[in-house]
Amino acid sequence: MTHNARRSALRGFETLAVHAGREDLAALGVHAPPLDLSTTYPLGELDAAVASLDAMAAGGAPTGSPVYARMHSPTVARLEQALAALEGAQAAVAFSSGMAALTATLLAASQAQGGSRRHVVAVRPLYGGTDHLLASGLLGLETSFVSAGCVARAIRPDTALVILETPTNPTLDLVDIEAVASRCGEVPLLVDSTFATPVLQKPLRHGAALVLHSATKFLGGHGDVMAGAIAASEAWVARLRQVRIATGALLHPLAAYLVHRGLPTLPLRVLASQQGATYLAERLAAHPAVARTCHPSLAGADPGGLIGRQMAGPGGVLSFELRGGQPAAANLLRRLRLIQPAVSLGATDTLIQHPAGLTHRLVERAARANSGISEGLLRVSAGLEDPHDLWQDLRQALEA
């Protein structure tokens, strides 16, 4: 049975999570995926090595020797096969971080039509690093920041890409991917699905051309690896591989190995995190010190009915706004005993951070305010601890 045939035979997502990228292990006589740390490879016949390098330079797989690890890593390729399977994509390409993946996509998109497309439409709110990269103009691109309903009016003849994140970071709003895709026309849509993961959401099914993951988060899942990935068509991935070769943003094989190792437990981890976040959101929403709680599970948080249609569940991240603003937020962070104040998310332990002061600090103040990122807002990534213990920690900090 071919690789693709075997992959298509694995119908359940949990089964895919366990077996994707591992289909040939029995034939290799091993049980765990091998880790190849080589930086260079024997060339064999020169003509064959040249042909292999040409194939990789064009965005394809090596036809012979991988030549050099910046061109191709067998360990990274295994992870890419697995991620493509989980997203229902033709292919995937992994990078050294989520921001490296985004940068490569922006560069690849802007080179379409002979490099004449220098405009991006972005739906706020976004991850602060994404917002800052777009707003800074560092890549020579002009960005129009809009709401989801205004995408069509913002598109110009030189628009290279439309970008959105759902659930949004850090306000957990849900954006209708299919509705936005219908407004994009011929312009490709990139969806940052880091919060949802393929366990809860598959943007390609709803009209997105590309799916972005900061694999540092839930995909890695243990707070010990940094990685990024794009899942898309073969044509898009070939262009992204060309950028990756030129810029040197290949994911390190050890990082790829660790992310791949975490995928079998991804469904279990995401669902447990979601359960904890839902429990905390209910209790925070009822606490008098909390002015606003943001989580898609709460009443009125999903007016478009996207849970069940676009998402399989509300996810494991929530945020809440304290009535006392930044001083109250700083005081709560200081008093926590179990929950760890730290940026990032999707780890096995629960993390809490202050977006206005940290992840979204470089977003202009007016844009933060317009996106609902107040000085009293705190974002929580629910881990795998007992939710009752997490709530006891939050409650004592709120009431101290």
Give the tens place of pLDDT for each residue, 318-345: 999 999 999 999 999 999 999 999 999 9
- pLDDT at residue 136 above 70? yes
Give the separation between CA 32 and CA 17, rounded to whole angstroms.
Answer: 14
> Per CATH, is 266-399 categorized as 3.90.1150.10?
yes
Check if 192 is active-site.
Answer: yes
- Mean pLDDT for all residues in the chain: 95
The answer to whether 25 touches 33, Cβ cutoff 8 Å, is yes
Name every residue whose Cβ is closer than 8 Å to that of residue 377 and which is 6 or more positions away in sequence: 170, 171, 319, 320, 321, 322, 329, 354, 355, 356
Check if 70 is active-site.
Answer: yes
Check if 217 is active-site.
Answer: yes
- The one catalytic residue among 127, 241, 269, 302: 127
- pLDDT at residue 211 above 70? yes
The answer to whether 347 touches 353, Cβ cutoff 8 Å, is no
What is the pLDDT at residue 115? 72
**Tens digits of per-residue pLDDT, 45-73?**
999 999 999 999 999 999 999 999 999 99
**Tens digits of per-residue pLDDT, 79-134?**
999 999 999 999 999 999 999 999 999 999 998 767 778 999 999 999 999 999 99
**Tens digits of per-residue pLDDT, 248-290?**
999 999 999 999 999 999 999 999 999 999 999 999 999 999 9
* In the chain, where the domains are located: 266-399
The answer to whether 187 touches 155, Cβ cutoff 8 Å, is yes
Give the separation between CA 391 and CA 284, rounded to whole angstroms.
Answer: 9
Give, in degrees to the nearest 5, the angle at Cα 6 between 264 and 315. 35
- The one catalytic residue among 36, 70, 283, 349: 70
- The one catalytic residue among 176, 192, 302, 393: 192
Mean pLDDT value across residues 219-246: 97
Indicate the SS3 state at residue 396.
Answer: helix
**141: closest CA among 116, 113, 114?**
116
pLDDT grade for 210, boundaries at 50, 70 and 90: very high
Indicate the SS3 state at residue 325.
Answer: helix
- pLDDT at residue 1 above 50? no
What is the pLDDT at residue 116? 79
The overall pTM is greater than 0.85: yes
**Tens digits of per-residue pLDDT, 10-21?**
469 999 999 999
- pLDDT at residue 9 above 60? no
Check if 202 is active-site.
Answer: no
Give the separation between CA 124 and CA 92, rounded to whole angstroms.
Answer: 25
Looking at per-residue pLDDT, the higher value among 6 and 295 belongs to 295
Among the residues of the chain, which ranges form H helices?
A: 3-9, 13-19, 25-28, 46-57, 74-87, 98-110, 112-115, 128-136, 151-154, 177-183, 197-200, 234-247, 253-262, 266-285, 325-335, 365-370, 387-399
List beta partners, residue 346.
Answer: none
Q: Which two tokens stand for residue 72?
A: 């191709």
Judged by phi (left if over 0) then psi (alpha if -120 to 50, else beta), residue 84 lies in alpha
- The one catalytic residue among 202, 217, 244, 379: 217
